[in-house]
Structure 1
Amino acid sequence: MLNPQRHRLIILPSLSPASSVCFSRTTHSPRQTSQRYLHRTTPTGTIESVAVLGGGITGLSAAWYLSKLAPSIPVTLYEKLDRLGGWLNTKRIESEDGTIQFEQGPRTIRPWTVSGLVTIDMIRQLDLEKELILISKNTPAAKNRFIYFPDRLNQLPSSLLSLLLAPHLPVMKGVFAGILAEPFRKRRPADVTDESVGSFISRRFNKALANNLVSAGLHGIYAGDIDQLSAKSLFPRFWMAEEHQGSLVKSALSNKTIETEDDQATRAELYDDNVGICMRMKETSVYSFKNGIETLSVALARDLEKSPNVTIKLGTRLGKIDYIKAQGLPINITEGSKNPVSYSHVISTLFAPSLNSLLPAPLQSPSLASIQAVTVLVVNLYYRTPNLLPVQGFGYLIPKSIPGSENPEKALGVIFDSETTPSPGTKVTVMMGGHYWQGRASYPDKHEAVKMARTVLQRHLRIAETPVLTNATLQRDCIPQYTVGHDERMETAHEDLLMGFNGRLSVAGNSYMGVGLNDCVRSARDVVKGLLSGRGLTGLEGFKGKQWVL
């Protein structure tokens, strides 16, 4: 978790993706060291037992880090479903072509961020390197990315030549004019504490770039509305670049990278142990696992099952959480109609409003309750014909600005899965809904969902063939939305939790500081390390007292 005393802005020389993660700023050369695994930490005396709420990737990671860093502390992991892994869910279907894997949630992981390094470190310790599928940055899946606008695929620039030709693309109309004008725009007024991404990009560049490019990207990550999502929360480095340098373009041309001390410290801590795996992944754009993305959650669960002080409770619905300060183990958790179980500390990885609903009324936080999430319909299709797609690439995203006649199904994007994971035929995933379906009372059934996905593919890619395998999954409230004012609300939530639970209840997961898999793993690690350092934490310290300096 970000230490509020260390969360300051640092300007670093720009580095290549590989070096920026795998190599620290120190001047010494990479030295040969034996690989290190998590060392045992002597736990503070106040931590007698920990309940981890939620068995998704964040909850599994939190329990795993506790089992490695403080193996003597009893840990109980609660999950309401009969399976662990949360949104990491790989479905396997037997067919005449063999076993076909469908990803019903995330499918690839990006390695080249500090949070990505945390996941890489976990993969190394779980001995999963041999299970990796590495997608080279020189493959079509990495180089060829498309946006559908207004009625055709537009291939985004990936080289100098394609950049020179890009102005002829419909989706790039007006974009370069906005980029050239950006350094001459006025910086925002000092009293503006946040604004929507749509407002921020339109103000700094123009509406064409915001509505045609950035809105498509946010559909792929957040399934969210560019005019609702927070610029300060989603793009903190851009936000600070404008504040300190007056221009995003000037900041980029200065050959400087904005980074926090917390990022720098985490990289330095993990540097030596992961040089080998980072060098192996040097040319990697994204990666996954041979047996699907849930390989990671399955490995974590198996490792936890070997830990004598870890108890996993599946199919357990929680009733309420009480805090009795005078009690030796002050947090009581009720499991359905059973008698409450007491713990000294709780780490919640539940969706923030779900956690809030479990708290006693006097201790509830309106800021936690305010977080919204979107529902995404994921439809996987497998066609027996190989190379059925008209282009090679990762897939395409669909911007908010597309004419309604071209997207009545409210599709967000299409992923060309057979480009990243081997399959004898052609495999694609269509994602629909997101912010378009906010407030919707009912959703398509599986038959209708497949029909909608096929219509999208026929209209956009001219694919008329009937798929031999399909799978439709409605992921309800799967992606929290960091809307305008998110940082300020989470600062208030921090105060609410600290006052109400005195540092005994911490939160982590995608409701707060990042919706990606890497973000979730890192938030779990930060909370556990913070607790074991002897500090009472809420997990939201990163929103409190940020000090950005040059």
Structure 2
Amino acid sequence: MLTPLTKLKSSAKVAVVGGGVSGLCFTYFLSKLRPDVKVTLFESQNRTGGWIYSCATKDESGRPIMVEKGPRTLRGVSDGTVLIIDTLRDLGKEAVVQKIDKGCTADKKFLLDPSDKLVQVPDSLTTTLKFLLNPLGKGLIPGMLGEWFRKKSPHPGQDESVESIINRRFGNKGMSNNMISALLRGIYGDDVSLLSAKRTFRKIYYNELKHGSNTQAMIDNMREKSKSKKSEDSQRPLTGCLNDYVKAFGKNESNLLDLSNKLKRYPMLGLAGGLEKFPQVVRKALDKFDNVEIVTNEPVVQIVKHNANVKTIGLKVQSGDKYEGFDHLRLTITPSKIAKLLPKNEDSLSKLLDEIQSNTIILVNYYLPNKDVLDAGQHGFGYLVPKSNKNPGKLLGLIFDSVIERNFKPLFGVDSQNPNASKKYTKLTAMIGGDMLNEHGVPVVPSREVTISAVKDALNHHLGISNEDLEAGHWEFTVADRCLPRFHVGYDAWQEKTEKKFQETYGQTVSVGGMGFARSPGVPDVIVDSFNDALQLGK
């Protein structure tokens, strides 16, 4: 949270609403920090893990397969990823951690150009030249060359859309319509003209605020790196979250620093068996904790606020049962879902929370055994679709799961043979919708048949996959209903105002986390947020 939290009293009772990775990790960190605190976690579904879902299913022949219906990889450079991998090590599950080597096939990424051709995101002189000669590269060179000379915002410190700051800094619409729109569709499922620059494009926003331009920021950063190289200590000490983590849990600083530096060498990490292995491992650990209770398949329907003289809070669940006497309540569900739990006399807070709409993402998985239908030149992580593409199927992007799986290698220990490396099969995940599904702020979801038909058309048109192969494959259809908060212009100010309103209404008895209140909706960022707030409450 942006606003500080205070330490829990001895033998306090804490409720956590939401059993996704945010709620699980908050519970895990807090219960380890404070074994005296009793934590009860409530999850509306019959499983924990939230939107991280590595689904075990069967293909048309009855053979078992796993398809990802949510996130599947982690950024190696993130502090949150260090916390995840170190937690897996603590729980004896480091063998499941997989790496993608920099420059390997799965590290290649593509964009879909206006003529529906895949164009590789530049990673060499050759690919850079090809990209610049494509319509996707329009305005890139003059935009970058002139960025240093362009004026700062006439309203420094004021939020604006990503599209606005990119167009202003680079002097044309080429970058926002192409590279940037595709990137942010892949992360947030939303439009660059609506997304907050301060929230979702922090580096560009603060570079201008602090340095005047991104070019000047690059020059200043290069100078800083040059100075640090001349210093005797070539390895910088752990900072921020990781430094706090070392102190909180008595970790070996050198070992964690080595792990952090090791992870930064890899653009992506994954887990054998799917990313859901992480929340599953944490859940199994929590099941053994004496101070943790997990209540599943029991939606919370109301927060029960007592009078000012009683400094505890209660919860009512769908079955009608009430849970009383909590000294602290942690909410990790989306803002609009939190609003539905509030007492009727808290209209002003409900209205604030209801200001944040959420995007719905449709996931379509395709699996074909015994055949790789992707051309060798198409092998990569996948592709994203920018605004400059007509995109009748409302496609956000496509992930080439089989390519990623074949390129995974163990992070720890001796490199053993990847069982998928020599297998011939095709596994793809299409991401559809986001803001493109919204009509008057409400997502309108097409049927399974209509959606899969549109994906088949895209795979045939974009990748050249034959109708015969498409019809022979196994298909999965999943609607992640309102899963991503919409980070509109002014979101940071909204969050600060909302958190202050929570503290005015509930004092220190309520805190908020999850995707709507973490720094970013990415899994590592949500983990960092969970640790930071658990530390404030537990230290």
* TM-score for both structures, normalised by structure 1: 0.84
Within 2, Cα distance between the matches of 1:506 and 1:234? Answer: 22
Q: Deviations over 1:104-161 (max 9, x none)?
A: 010111120223323233233233210012111121111x211101111111110234
2:353 is the counterpart of 1:368? yes
User: What is the deviation of 1:287?
Assistant: 1.1
User: Helix, strand or coil for the counterpart of 2:445?
Assistant: coil
User: Helix, strand or coil for the counterpart of 2:267?
Assistant: strand
Q: Which moved more, 1:50-59 or 1:334-343?
A: 334-343
2:128 is the counterpart of 1:163? yes
**For residue 351 of structure 1, what is the aligned residue in structure 2?**
334
**For residue 478 of structure 1, what is the aligned residue in structure 2?**
483
2:297 is the counterpart of 1:333? no
User: What is the deviation of 1:445?
Assistant: 2.6
Corresponding letter in the other structure for 1:171: L
User: Helix, strand or coil for the counterpart of 1:255?
Assistant: helix
**For residue 304 of structure 1, what is the aligned residue in structure 2?**
286
2:360 is the counterpart of 1:379? no
**For residue 505 of structure 1, what is the aligned residue in structure 2?**
510
Within 1, Cα distance between the matches of 2:280 and 2:157? Answer: 45
Contact 2:301–2:340, Cα closer than 8 Å, also in 1: no
**For residue 493 of structure 1, what is the aligned residue in structure 2?**
498
Within 2, Cα distance between the matches of 1:190 and 1:46? Answer: 48
Q: Which moved more, 1:211-220 or 1:241-250?
A: 241-250
Aligned 1:14-53 pairs, distance under 5 A = 44-45=8-9, 48-53=12-17
User: What is the deviation of 1:52?
Assistant: 0.4
**For residue 87 of structure 1, what is the aligned residue in structure 2?**
51
2:388 is the counterpart of 1:388? no
**For residue 288 of structure 1, what is the aligned residue in structure 2?**
270
2:192 is the counterpart of 1:226? yes
Contact 1:418–1:427, Cα closer than 8 Å, also in 2: yes
Corresponding letter in the other structure for 2:436: Y
User: What is the deviation of 1:322?
Assistant: 2.5
User: What is the deviation of 1:282?
Assistant: 4.9
CA change 1:47–1:496 in 2 (3 A) is: farther
**For residue 13 of structure 1, what is the aligned residue in structure 2?**
none
2:462 is the counterpart of 1:460? yes
Corresponding letter in the other structure for 2:395: A
Contact 1:415–1:430, Cα closer than 8 Å, also in 2: yes
User: Helix, strand or coil for the counterpart of 2:50?
Assistant: coil
Q: Percent identity?
A: 31
The gaps in structure 1 that reach 5 residues or longer are 6-41, 534-550
2:54 is the counterpart of 1:72? no
Contact 1:141–1:419, Cα closer than 8 Å, also in 2: yes
* TM-score for both structures, normalised by structure 2: 0.86
Which of residues 161, 167, 175 in structure 2 aligns to 1:209?
A: 175
Contact 1:53–1:79, Cα closer than 8 Å, also in 2: yes
Corresponding letter in the other structure for 2:380: G
Aligned 1:432-447 pairs, distance under 5 A = 432-439=432-439, 442-447=444-449
Corresponding letter in the other structure for 2:429: T
Within 2, Cα distance between the matches of 1:169 and 1:253? Answer: 29
User: What is the deviation of 1:524?
Assistant: 0.9
Corresponding letter in the other structure for 1:203: R
Corresponding letter in the other structure for 1:236: R
2:398 is the counterpart of 1:414? yes
**For residue 141 of structure 1, what is the aligned residue in structure 2?**
106
CA change 1:116–1:441 in 2 (3 A) is: closer
Which of residues 119, 127, 141 in structure 2 aligns to 1:176?
A: 141
Within 2, Cα distance between the matches of 1:328 and 1:126? Answer: 39
Contact 1:318–1:335, Cα closer than 8 Å, also in 2: yes
Q: Deviations over 1:425-472 (max 9, x none)?
A: 011111111000113564223233222211111111111122421111
**For residue 34 of structure 1, what is the aligned residue in structure 2?**
none
Corresponding letter in the other structure for 1:215: S
User: What is the deviation of 1:329?
Assistant: 5.0
Q: Deviations over 1:154-200 (max 9, x none)?
A: 11110234334432122112111111111010000135611000111
CA change 1:197–1:43 in 2 (3 A) is: closer
CA RMSD between the two structures: 2.4
CA change 1:469–1:103 in 2 (3 A) is: same
User: Helix, strand or coil for the counterpart of 1:293?
Assistant: coil
Question: May I ask how many residue pairs the two structures share in their alignment?
Answer: 490
User: Helix, strand or coil for the counterpart of 2:330?
Assistant: strand
User: Helix, strand or coil for the counterpart of 1:60?
Assistant: helix
Q: Which moved more, 1:407-416 or 1:107-116?
A: 107-116
User: Helix, strand or coil for the counterpart of 1:190?
Assistant: coil
Contact 2:194–2:489, Cα closer than 8 Å, also in 1: yes
User: Helix, strand or coil for the counterpart of 2:322?
Assistant: coil
Within 2, Cα distance between the matches of 1:397 and 1:291? Answer: 25
Contact 1:47–1:345, Cα closer than 8 Å, also in 2: no
Corresponding letter in the other structure for 1:393: G
The gaps in structure 2 that reach 5 residues or longer are 226-237, 247-252, 407-419
Contact 1:43–1:70, Cα closer than 8 Å, also in 2: no
Within 2, Cα distance between the matches of 1:308 and 1:4? Answer: 28
User: What is the deviation of 1:382?
Assistant: 0.9
